[in-house]
Amino acid sequence: MRSSELRVFLFRLAITLPLLGVAGWLFAKKRKSTWWPFVWGFIFFALFAFFVELVPYLPDYGGYVRYIVGILVTVLLGRYAILALNRYLEKQKLQESLPEEQRREELSYDVALERLSKNVCPGCERPVDLKNTEIDFCPHCGIGLFDHCGSCNTRKSAFSRFCHSCGTAAGKVLPRLDGAPAAQPASGANEVR
């Protein structure tokens, strides 16, 4: 009885071990290639074959293999998630350190409007109370959210291409505290010499 179990185990090992070897090579060399869907499909197939075909037949300690692999997968996925979150936060800090004009150029019109509709700042993606008419700038990153039309002085979104009140094309107009429209200062006017 014991020899037949060992023979079945060795036969299954002879089938799944090459699959795992090829899957490991594909993961190391080809996972970011043009054929990545096939690569990942084969990797998942090899892992499925390992856990379904081989692990239940491991003599006496098959359950431990599952536990160890589960722990390793949890640690690796957790590490990846933490590193991805840190990269995202670093990218956000770098983005927030750029001048407002450069941040505006990198934001697409549709993305800005989508984020504004969710009541978040288009620049830093933090919540902003857009219903408050006193807020013209994001309190977190300082990007201008609202300005005034240069033609009719209506308060409008700084990301809108046209005034919603009079239809005038939006120019580079800065909001002023006294409510009067103010044109964008000429380039070089605010530079320190």
pLDDT mean across residues, the chain: 79
Tell me if 31 is assigned to some domain.
yes
Residues 112 and 150 placed together within one structural domain of the fold: yes
Q: What digits encode the pLDDT tens for the residues 114-146?
A: 888 888 888 888 898 888 888 888 888 888 888
pLDDT < 50: residue spans in the chain: 173-193
- What number of helices (H) and strands (E) belong to the chain? 5, 4
Q: What is the pTM of this model?
A: 0.45
Number of domains in the chain: 2
The residue out of 48, 77, 97 marking a domain boundary is 97
Q: Are 95 and 62 in contact (CB under 8 A)?
A: no
Burial classification of residue 187, based on how many CB atoms lie within 10 Å of its CB (0-12 exposed, 13-18 middle, 19 or more buried): exposed
* One-character DSSP codes across 114-129: HHHHTTB-TTT--B--
Q: Are 180 and 150 in contact (CB under 8 A)?
A: no
Expressed as residue numbers, the domain containing 90 is: 2-97
Q: What digits encode the pLDDT tens for the residues 137-170?
A: 888 888 888 888 888 888 888 888 888 778 888 7
Q: What pLDDT does 109 receive?
A: 79
Residues 106 and 79 placed together within one structural domain of the fold: no
Tell me if 193 is assigned to some domain.
no
The residue out of 36, 66, 97 marking a domain boundary is 97
Residues 64 and 149 placed together within one structural domain of the fold: no
Residues 88 and 105 placed together within one structural domain of the fold: no
